[in-house]
Amino acid sequence: MSKATENLYIDFQRNRERLQEQLAQIVRRYGKPVFPEDNSNALLGSYVRAFFLPGEPRKFFISNTSLKPEYLDLTVRPAQNPSQVQLPNGVTLGIRGHLFPTDHVAPQLVVDRIVEVVAMPPRPFEATIDVNCNLSGDHTEKNILAPELIAKLPEIALQTRENLHHWRDYLDWKREIIERELGGIRYLDASLENEQLKFHVIAKNEQEFREMESLFREDSLSVFPLRYSQNEWEFRYARDNRFFSGVMLGDFRDAQPANAAAFKKLLRGCPWESPFVALVRFDLPADDRDQLPAMKPAERTMYLEQRMAQLPENGFLANSLIGDFTVLYRQQQALDMLERQSGFAPFISAWLFDIDKATPPQLSTPIDDWLMPNINAGQKRAVQKMLDAPDVALVQGPPGTGKTTVIGEAIYQLARQGKTVLLASQA
């Protein structure tokens, strides 16, 4: 444990607006004032005065929560909530930030985020420090954030960092598979006749066209502009346009060879000596077919004209995998967010890939009012575990064993305690 005469130099000003908004969100979620001064425009000042008032020795728990080796990230939480702060039982507000200057022997902690964490004794990977908080001035005097302290803090995220690297490799591999599944064929023009869409498509030769015919029967077949491909004649997926949804087509009707000579003007620049041209026909999408019968003739004509206006003059017929790309993109975003902020659980990097490092629940929360009084003893014990788990609680069991009942009861109990619940779903 450090001496109380050492200083913790903290910079709240660099990200002042962001921190102010984070505190405002926390107060809004609780639905009541957290600090004695009920001033929404001065929440950061209230927070700093309550938890980090300069000149008063304070006890904190500090940990190395870095997920990037080149970016040292520290989390500091108070050992005890100030009496004037109105937070739910078992909750405290810590800070998470980086050292600046990064290579300085006596840096400041620049606060990037204010985090809600469980109020509990120090975890195995946390160090206890008794310090004076200093928000300004020369940060070289008795600086607690010396290399000696940093070196003693366990790198709790080493295993997580390695596994996240493997996850990124997996997502790259998955993206390559999705891209290989993409196929397309160039079309020279588009028209509408008898409520069917007609396209003159072009392939290098008839054999290549026949090999592409299965593409026309895919449910995801859509119409895309030329930029959906890296090459204007032969389809090569352009990754920059992965979120371009295209215009959906209906069922494939038929394909008939066409006279390539009739398209001589449109074939200028074509790299193939004897390209194969065919006329392919598709129904309108099912939604269009359902709406058209109820329309008056003038409405029908206008609707179809608007439909045709959505189609590029020329482009590609290709399958759309925007749903696959969207899921992949969200997964990549989740990894980025985890590396930057650890989401809503600051210590998730300690146990995400090693559940043994999660802190076990102590079953100390008394429950005197059950939403569902008929739940059995096992379900009640499960609810208590969920309420008292500092890090994570996994509810599992065969169908019909009451998992939803347990989760519903736990949400009710958390709400009674004034805590917030984030509902999420798998992609």
What does pTM read for this prediction? 0.62
Digit-coded pLDDT (tens) for 293-334 = 888 999 989 999 998 999 999 999 998 876 787 788 888 888
Digit-coded pLDDT (tens) for 72-118 = 889 999 999 998 898 888 889 999 999 888 777 889 999 999 999 88
State how far the Cα of 304 lies from the Cα of 284, in Å rounded to an integer.
Answer: 10
Closest CA relative to residue 341, chosen from 18, 1, 7: 18
Could you tell me which residues are beta bridge partners of residue 155? 64
Domain assignment present for 242? yes
Q: Of 320, 350, 381, which marks where a domain is finished?
A: 320
Q: Of 303, 320, 337, which marks where a domain is finished?
A: 320
Contact 347, 70 (CB under 8 A): no
Closest CA relative to residue 371, chosen from 342, 425, 417, 411: 411
Q: How many domains does the chain have?
A: 3
Digit-coded pLDDT (tens) for 329-353 = 888 888 887 776 555 677 777 787 8
Domain assignment present for 151? yes
Q: What is the pLDDT of residue 241?
A: 64
Q: What is the pLDDT of residue 1?
A: 43
State how far the Cα of 205 lies from the Cα of 201, in Å rounded to an integer.
Answer: 11
Based on the fold, state whether residues 151 and 187 are members of the same structural domain. no
Domain assignment present for 126? yes
Residue 389, domain extent: 360-427
